[in-house]
Amino acid sequence: MKVRVLGAAAGGGFPQWNCRCSNCRRLRQGSLKGRSRTQAQLAVSADEKSWILLNASPDLRAQIESTPELWPASSIRHSPISSVVLTSAELDAVLGLLLLREFYPLQVYATASVRRILTEDNSMFAMLHRVEGQIRWHDLPASGKLVIDGLTFETFSDPSGFPGFVNEDRAQTLDQSEAVVGLIVGDGAKVAFVPGSANMDAALLQRLSNCHTVLFDGTFWSDDELVRVLGGAKHAREMGHLPISGESGSLRQLASLTQQRKIFIHVNNTNPILDEESAEFAETRRAGWEVASDGDTFTL
Amino acid sequence: MKVRVLGAAAGGGFPQWNCRCSNCRRLRQGSLKGRSRTQAQLAVSADEKSWILLNASPDLRAQIESTPELWPASSIRHSPISSVVLTSAELDAVLGLLLLREFYPLQVYATASVRRILTEDNSMFAMLHRVEGQIRWHDLPASGKLVIDGLTFETFSDPSGFPGFVNEDRAQTLDQSEAVVGLIVGDGAKVAFVPGSANMDAALLQRLSNCHTVLFDGTFWSDDELVRVLGGAKHAREMGHLPISGESGSLRQLASLTQQRKIFIHVNNTNPILDEESAEFAETRRAGWEVASDGDTFTL
């Protein structure tokens, strides 16, 4: 199985259009030891002919163009992309679907609640159904197993909740367990994709310990990162993200995973691990973690 | 006034993710004399400090990052972008708004019908209203004048109709004249921005003749371009686009505009004018037209 990181940043990307934090400012100036990153996006393939997208980021157009494996290879309209698996209805995870609307057949896997948010509450998604057979929706169980294009997908529910644009009344009509799912992909050696995780418990730790490679929520270094940088904002945990550092951060909570390749993905522009000369980057590397960059490819 | 072309292609961009037409194939191979282009997007400014976006393309994140004038210049969160003016509710014209959601105050001008489609029919747009004062909507008249950031905007209604995702029942509740507007911007020397035009009449010709620079719908070379390339698709006029060539195409219909700088924008990936060695490109240039590219800047 090939796993390709098309984008490694959190929502907004790195740099972010309206941000002048130390990371963004120095990256634009060319004085940061670190790389720009587009918004989190993976592609996986069993045979390197047919590719499955994990989520559909807003940067998908540029991400496809910078990845020759994903270019059309035959006939006038074609794509090696066969399917899209959505882990939530967050804008960073779904907007790219609206970029794939040019009449090409795609299989889209999402929980029933995520599909309902997109297709019932957002008329724009009707653009995906202008012609028969354009997009076909498939139910993704919040917790279960299924095979897509020769790869086994195991899903598990994360308690992070629905995106901010889903109001309380609407959320009451949906299944909370279907708001956010984590994915474990593969048959022999497996890869875990958990771009947002509000919580770490024994069950999740057990699941990750069965994987060869773990791509995990690296959004924020500290719980109060945005509060400190912006002088007022939400804490990481309130936003559904386990911070990397601290007593109950992911470095400590996942320290027992010593046999896995551990990689932070969905990294926010304010996170000091984007600066490869920072103490935080050094600490992350010492703890056995990598930081994903656009273009990274893993063979399992 | 400065006019900056951030993107010059029609929806899908050039190349388009699933297209292997002669243009897209040769561009990817490096054998086309022509340039890649992101989806149509303009920025205008009276003082080069504060910028107004004309539409909000899906490629806006990358377009801003490739334009230093649009980078944040002061404080931790900032943007020289003050306002966005929407000419329709087409996905290519509005999706970028959802990329500008990181809590920065923006003034958005749209007709009441366009605003209703976005905010009443698409719950995702609630992300623009999470905090007080984040986005402020202003009514754009389908036909009228207003001043935005020191620049006079004149609007006129185009009969192209609402986007494909707006169903018949919904369209009945909206004002058809508010579906698509053209823009004329400036006080002394004016620029016209007409990225989609289904129709050319004496009134529009008169308006354009009062402008210094005309950025006009260059989507398709011929009315049956997509039908021929794809072997079955809609005609240009059915899609709300006047073709460039032919008896009633824009080259002939705008031939009387001899004092204007005339530039095609919103160019589809299949259009032969993207190939600078094509007969169609030569004919376009001989007729006094230019073909917009990303990064073009005009001073009026």
Q: What are the chain B neighbours of A122 within 8 Å (beta carbons)?
A: 121-124
In angstroms, rounded to a whole number, what is the distance separating the alpha carbons of residues B39 and A260? 41
Q: How far, in Å, CA of B201 to CA of A185, rounded?
A: 58
Q: Which residue has the tokens 């202008």?
A: A130
Residue A123 to residue B164, Cβ atoms within 8 A: no
Which of the pair, B143 or A234, is modelled with greater confidence?
B143
Mean pLDDT in chain B?
95
Cα gap B144→B195, rounded to integer Å:
18
Q: Evaluate if residue A15 carries a pLDDT over 90.
A: yes
Can you tell me whether residue B162 is helix, strand or coil?
Answer: coil
Average pLDDT on A113-139 reads: 92
CA-based nearest distance B21→chain A, Å = 5
Predicted confidence (pLDDT) per residue in A245-257, tens digit? 999 999 999 999 9
Q: How far is A65 from chain B (nearest CA, A)?
A: 7
CA-based end-to-end distance of chain B: 5
Mean pLDDT of A1-17: 97
Sequence-distant (6+) residues with CB within 8 A of B159 are B176, B180, B198, B199
CB-nearest to A229 from B65, B76, B98 is B76
- All residues of chain B having their beta carbon less than 8 Å from the beta carbon of residue A101 are 91
Please report the DSSP string for A139-179 in residue order: EPPSSEEEEETTEEEEEEEETT-S-TTS-HHHHHTS-GGGS
Q: Exposed e or buried b for every residue in B258-288, given b needs 16+ CB within 10 A?
A: eebbbbbbbbbbbbbbbbeebebbebbeeee
Q: Is the pLDDT of residue A131 over 80?
A: no
Strands of the sheet with B144-148, listed across from one edge: B144-148, B151-158, B180-185, B191-194, B213-217, B261-265, B289-291
DSSP B141: P
pLDDT at A4: 98
Give the residue, A174 or A228, on which the prediction is more confident: A174
Cα dihedral B61/B62/B66/B72 (nearest 10): 20
Q: What percent of chain A has pLDDT over 90?
A: 87
From B61, B56, B11, select the one nearest B37 (Cα to Cα).
B11
Tokens of B119: 């905010």
Closest by Cβ to B99, choosing from A58, A102, A229: A58
Q: What is the pLDDT of residue A270?
A: 96
Distance between CA atoms of residues A163 and B127, nearest Å:
9
> Where is average pLDDT lowest: A157-161, A229-233, B90-94, B248-252?
A229-233
Of chain B, the percentage scoring pLDDT greater than 90 comes to 87
Q: Which one of A22, A99, A269 makes the best mutation probe of the B interface by having the most chain B beta carbons within 10 Å? A: A99
High-pLDDT (> 70) share of chain B, %: 99
Residues facing residue B264 across a β-bridge? B216, B291
- β-strands A2-7, A297-299 pairing: antiparallel
Q: Please report, rounded to a whole number, the percentage of residues in chain A having pLDDT higher than 70.
A: 99
Residue A138's pLDDT band (cuts 50, 70, 90): very high
The answer on pLDDT for B21 being more than 70 is yes
- Read off the pLDDT of each residue in B239-243 and give the average, rounded to a whole number: 92
Q: Report long-range pairs for B165-170 (Cβ below 8 Å, ≥24 apart).
A: B165/A123, B165/A124, B165/A125, B165/A126, B165/A127, B165/B91, B166/A123, B166/B89, B166/B117, B166/B121, B167/A123, B167/A126, B170/A123, B170/B117, B170/B121
Select the residue of B98, B104, B164 nearest A95 (Cβ to Cβ).
Answer: B98
Give per-residue burial for B93-129: e unless 16+ CB within 10 Å, then b.
bbbbbbbbbbebebbbbbbebbbbbbbebbbbbbbbb
State how far the alpha carbon of B183 is from the alpha carbons of A251, B12, B179, B208, in Å.
54, 23, 13, 10
Q: What are the residues whose beta carbons fall under 8 Å from the beta carbon of A94, sequence distance 6 or more?
A: A55, A56, A86, A88, A114, A118
Neighbours of B137 (CB within 10 A): 18
- In the three-class reduction of DSSP (H, G, I as helix; E, B as strand; rest coil), residue B182 is classed as strand
Which residue carries 């029933």 as its tokens? A112
Question: Which tens digits make up the pLDDT trace of A148-205?
Answer: 999 999 999 998 899 999 999 999 999 999 999 999 999 999 999 998 888 889 999 9
A217: pLDDT confidence band, cut at 50, 70 and 90? Answer: very high
Between A46-50, A178-182, B133-137, the lowest mean confidence (pLDDT) is in B133-137
Average pLDDT over residues B168-192: 96
At A193, give phi and psi (nearest 5°): -125, 105
CB contact under 8 A, A124 and B123: no
Tokens linked to A83: 């399917």
The two tokens of residue B271 are 């259009």
pLDDT tier for residue B103 given thresholds of 50, 70 and 90:
low
> What are the counts of helices (DSSP H) followed by strands (DSSP E) for chain A?
9, 14
Residue B18 and residue A95: Cβ atoms within 8 Å?
A: no
Q: Centre a 10 Å sphere on the Cβ of residue B219 and count the other Cβ atoms it contains.
A: 28
Round to whole Å and give the CA distance between A87 and A40. Answer: 12
The pair of three-digit structure tokens given for residue B148, joined into one six-digit string: 């935005």
When CB atoms are compared, the residue of B12, B18, B78 closest to A20 is B78
Which residue from A minimizes the CA distance to B22? A76
DSSP label of A136: E
For residue A59, is pLDDT > 70?
yes
On chain B, the residues whose CB falls within 8 A of the CB of A16 are: 102
* pLDDT category of residue A103 using cuts at 50, 70 and 90: low
Contact residues, chain B, for A104 at CB < 8 Å: 18
pLDDT value of residue B172 = 97
Pairwise CB contact (< 8 Å): A64 & B167? no
Question: What φ, ψ does residue B204 adopt, rounded to 5°?
Answer: -65, -45
Confidence of residue A299 (pLDDT cuts 50, 70, 90): very high
Q: Which one of A6, A14, A16, A17 would you mutate to disrupt binding with B, by most B Cβ within 10 Å of its Cβ? A: A17
* Inter-chain residue contact B58 with A62, CB threshold 8 Å: no
CB B60, CB B90: distance < 8 Å: no
- Supply the DSSP symbol for A125: G
Burial, B18: exposed, middle or buried (Cβ in 10 Å; 0-12, 13-18, 19+)? buried
> How do strand B213-217 and strand B191-194 relate by DSSP bridges?
parallel
Question: Residue B243: what are its φ and ψ, rounded to 5°?
Answer: -70, 160
| B110, B137 contact by CB (below 8 A) | yes
Residue B142 CB neighbours (<10 A): 20
* A20 with B76: Cβ contact below 8 A: yes
Question: Of the candidates B41, B35, B70, which has an alpha carbon nearest to the alpha carbon of residue B55?
Answer: B41
Q: How far is B86 from chain A (nearest CA, A)?
A: 16
Are B158 and B90 in contact by the 8 Å Cβ rule? The answer is no
Most confident of A125-129, A237-241, B177-181: B177-181
Cross-chain Cβ contact A126/B95 below 8 Å: no
Within 8 A of B65 by CB-CB distance, chain A residues are 15, 17, 36
The region that residue B167 occupies, defined by phi over 0 for left and psi between -120 and 50 for alpha, beta otherwise, is beta
Higher pLDDT among residues A284 and A239, named by residue: A284
Residue with tokens 């079955």: B232
Indicate if the pLDDT at residue B128 is higher than 90: no
Mutate to test the interface with B, among A165, A170, A174 (most CBs of B within 10 A): A165
The CA distance from A158 to A139, in Å, is 17
- Alpha-carbon gap: B241 to the closest alpha carbon of chain A (Å): 17
Give residues with Cβ within 8 angstroms of B4, minimum separation 6. Answer: B42, B43, B44, B45, B51, B67, B69, B295, B296, B297, B298
